[in-house]
């Protein structure tokens, strides 16, 4: 038996490859399925099952494409109602894979169709659970995504989750291995561990949600406390996962069309497409196409695209580093943004060679920032999360979190210069690009963010541990 966790850090998502006696099961595959096909081919094995733990909200699963390419059935737990052909397992239904067995354990709560898959080894001993968003390491899945007005509330779902954990998960042996769908950085939970594999016994010791003496009321209150609004793209990804989607090869073919600067400019004017610049933030600051949005590949790319571009059907034109075109289109498609129309051939250098209009972002070092503040007080805007801001911040800085930047546009000065920073320089450049696209140009980005600012000796507030906030 082989179990491989295929972890995608930028999405904080784990897919799983299980092989036994030449038969393979894939759990929660990513949108691009070639790696799974290649892996099975390497083992001279056949993909027999495609298991889905639930209708994922934070990425588009590759289940539909993988089923089309392999003929393997897509398997959901009870209450799933996809628009395509699928096997809806009963609670406790067994699936043979070589000489091991996978059992569907219905664990509603995160969503009503959420299902954990229990893997028994060839001797029939419980070996591992693939827990989806039912159980994370250090946390559990948020119960507010599948609530329906007038039917189920987040408290109802949290109650279901409490029962699922205590009747289906906690009775399992301590040496059972936990393979979750997500790790730290995912918006599907609050405080997940950076580790991606653990034993159930350790989780029973340290995961607040598995506390042995916890009442249902205590669980409900703790699991919903501090939940931030989900990103806007979540329901759109659920819809795609339930109803199906365009083949990834067609998406790649359309998105990787090379466009000359003139053709690129014409396409931007004629289609209403967003120009998305995915180069490094330093390159964007030095020069970019006016009104383009920066979200760099070398960062939390896909989740930020999903959080900041409201409509997954939005046409997009790309400015990438040479050779990064296909990767960019693939990573966009993972969160449902399938309407990339092409990329700027020759990247931004080609645009400049044609003497076309371009813009820059004013940017200074933390040392310059300190010196400037001492000479002349200008407002400072912090685009980190509220928890980061409350923990420690530049004195008198204003909180304008990037996730909700559009709600704060009226707070930025119309004419006076102001500073913007984040933790390390990535999010502040995204914010700068959004502000400039809205006509707000009187900003200065602080390179290196709060880390550099603190090291430069800029006065900051006393540190407060986030866990005590």
The 10s digit of each residue's pLDDT in 308-357 is 998 899 999 999 999 999 999 999 999 999 999 999 999 999 999 999 99
Task: Express each pLDDT in 82-99 by its tens digit.
Answer: 999 999 999 999 999 999
Q: For residue 149, is pLDDT > 60?
A: no
Q: What is the mean pLDDT of the chain?
A: 95
- Are 134 and 175 in a shared domain? yes
C-alpha 31/C-alpha 198 separation (Å) is: 26
- Are 145 and 252 in a shared domain? no
> Which token pair is 117?
């898959």
> Mean pLDDT throughout 291-302?
94
- DSSP 8-state symbol, 408: G
Pseudo-torsion of CA 320, 324, 326, 330, nearest 10°?
A: -80
- Are 9 and 157 in a shared domain? yes
Q: Is residue 241 part of a domain?
A: no
> Where does a domain end: 326, 354, 382?
354
- Are 346 and 258 in a shared domain? yes
- Are 397 and 287 in a shared domain? no
Residue 308 belongs to what H/E stretch? helix 301-308
- Are 323 and 368 in a shared domain? no
* Residue range of the domain that includes 282: 246-354
C-alpha 174/C-alpha 428 separation (Å) is: 44
- DSSP 8-state symbol, 466: G
pLDDT at 130: 98
Q: For residue 173, is pLDDT > 60?
A: yes
pLDDT at 143: 94
For residues 105 and 115, the answer to whether their CB atoms sit within 8 Å is yes
Rg of the chain over all Cα atoms, to the nearest angstrom: 24
Model confidence pTM above 0.85: yes
- Are 338 and 456 in a shared domain? no
Residue 49 pairs with which residues in a beta bridge? 25
- Are 286 and 425 in a shared domain? no
pLDDT at 307: 87
Highest mean pLDDT among 145-159, 177-191, 238-252: 238-252
Q: For residue 468, is pLDDT > 50?
A: no
> Where does a domain end: 181, 209, 235?
235
Q: For residue 118, is pLDDT > 80?
A: yes
For residues 262 and 354, the answer to whether their CB atoms sit within 8 Å is yes
Strands (E) in 188-273, as ranges, are 198-199, 258-259
pLDDT at 469: 46
pLDDT category at 448 given cuts 50, 70, 90 is: very high
- Are 312 and 371 in a shared domain? no
Residues 6+ apart with CB under 8 A from 269: none
Phi/psi for 329 (5° steps) reads -65, -40
Instruction: Quote the distance between the C-alpha of residue 446 and its chain's center.
Output: 26
C-alpha 86/C-alpha 82 separation (Å) is: 7
Q: Residue 357 CB: number of other CB atoms within 10 A?
A: 8
C-alpha 221/C-alpha 159 separation (Å) is: 10
> Mean pLDDT throughout 175-190?
91
For residues 304 and 426, the answer to whether their CB atoms sit within 8 Å is no
Q: Using CA of residue 253, residue 9, residue 69, residue 133, what is the dihedral sign?
A: negative
pLDDT at 153: 93
- Are 157 and 92 in a shared domain? yes
pLDDT at 310: 81
Mapped onto helix, strand or coil, the DSSP state of residue 204 is helix
C-alpha 99/C-alpha 270 separation (Å) is: 58
C-alpha 382/C-alpha 317 separation (Å) is: 29
- Are 331 and 430 in a shared domain? no
Domain count, the chain: 3
> Mean pLDDT throughout 171-200?
92
Considering only residues 349 and 302, tell me which one the structure prediction assigns the higher pLDDT: 349
CATH number at residue 286: 3.40.250.10
- Are 132 and 271 in a shared domain? no
Q: Is residue 240 part of a domain?
A: no
């Amino acid at each position: 038996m082989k179990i491989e966790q295929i972890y995608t850090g930028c999405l904080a998502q784990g897919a799983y490859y299980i092989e036994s006696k030449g038969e393979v099961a894939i759990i929660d595959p990513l949108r691009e399925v070639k790696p799974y096909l290649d892996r099975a081919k390497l083992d001279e094995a056949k993909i027999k099952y495609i298991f889905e733990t639930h209708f994922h909200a934070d990425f588009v699963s590759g289940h539909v494409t993988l089923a089309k390419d392999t003929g393997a059935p897509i398997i959901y737990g009870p209450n799933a109602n996809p628009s395509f052909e699928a096997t809806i397992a009963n609670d406790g239904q067994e699936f043979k894979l070589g000489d091991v067995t996978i059992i569907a354990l219905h664990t509603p709560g995160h969503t009503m169709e959420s299902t954990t898959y229990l893997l028994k080894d060839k001797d029939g001993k419980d070996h591992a659970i693939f827990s989806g968003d039912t159980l994370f390491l250090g946390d559990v899945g948020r119960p507010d995504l599948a609530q329906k007005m007038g039917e189920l509330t987040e408290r109802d779902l949290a109650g279901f989750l409490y029962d699922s954990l205590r009747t289906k998960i906690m009775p399992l042996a301590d040496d059972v291995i936990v393979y979750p769908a997500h790790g730290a950085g995912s918006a599907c939970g609050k405080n997940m561990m950076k580790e991606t594999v653990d034993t159930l016994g350790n989780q029973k010791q340290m995961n607040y949600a598995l506390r042995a003496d916890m009442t249902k009321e205590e669980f409900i209150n703790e699991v919903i406390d501090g939940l931030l609004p989900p990103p806007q793209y979540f329901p759109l990804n659920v819809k795609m996962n339930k109803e199906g989607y365009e083949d990834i090869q067609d998406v790649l073919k359309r998105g990787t069309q090379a466009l000359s600067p003139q053709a690129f400019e014409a396409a931007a004017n004629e289609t209403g497409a967003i120009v998305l610049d995915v180069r490094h933030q330093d390159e964007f600051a030095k020069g970019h196409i006016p009104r383009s949005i920066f979200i760099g590949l070398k960062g939390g790319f896909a989740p930020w695209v999903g959080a900041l571009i409201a409509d997954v059907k939005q046409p997009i034109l790309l400015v990438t580093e040479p050779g990064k075109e296909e990767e960019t289109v693939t990573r966009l498609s993972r969160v449902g943004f399938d309407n990339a129309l092409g990329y700027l051939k020759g990247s931004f250098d080609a645009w400049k060679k044609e003497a076309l209009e371009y813009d820059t972002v004013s940017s200074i070092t933390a040392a310059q920032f300190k010196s400037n503040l001492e000479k002349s007080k200008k407002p400072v805007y912090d685009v980190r999360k509220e928890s980061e801001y409350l923990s420690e911040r530049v004195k008198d800085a204003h909180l304008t979190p990037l996730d909700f930047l559009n709600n704060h546009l009226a707070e930025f000065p119309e004419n006076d210069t102001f500073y913007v920073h984040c933790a390390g320089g990535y999010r502040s450049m995204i914010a700068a690009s959004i502000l400039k696209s809205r006509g707000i140009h009187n900003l200065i980005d602080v390179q290196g963010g709060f880390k550099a600012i603190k090291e430069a000796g800029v006065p900051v507030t006393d540190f407060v541990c986030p866990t005590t906030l």
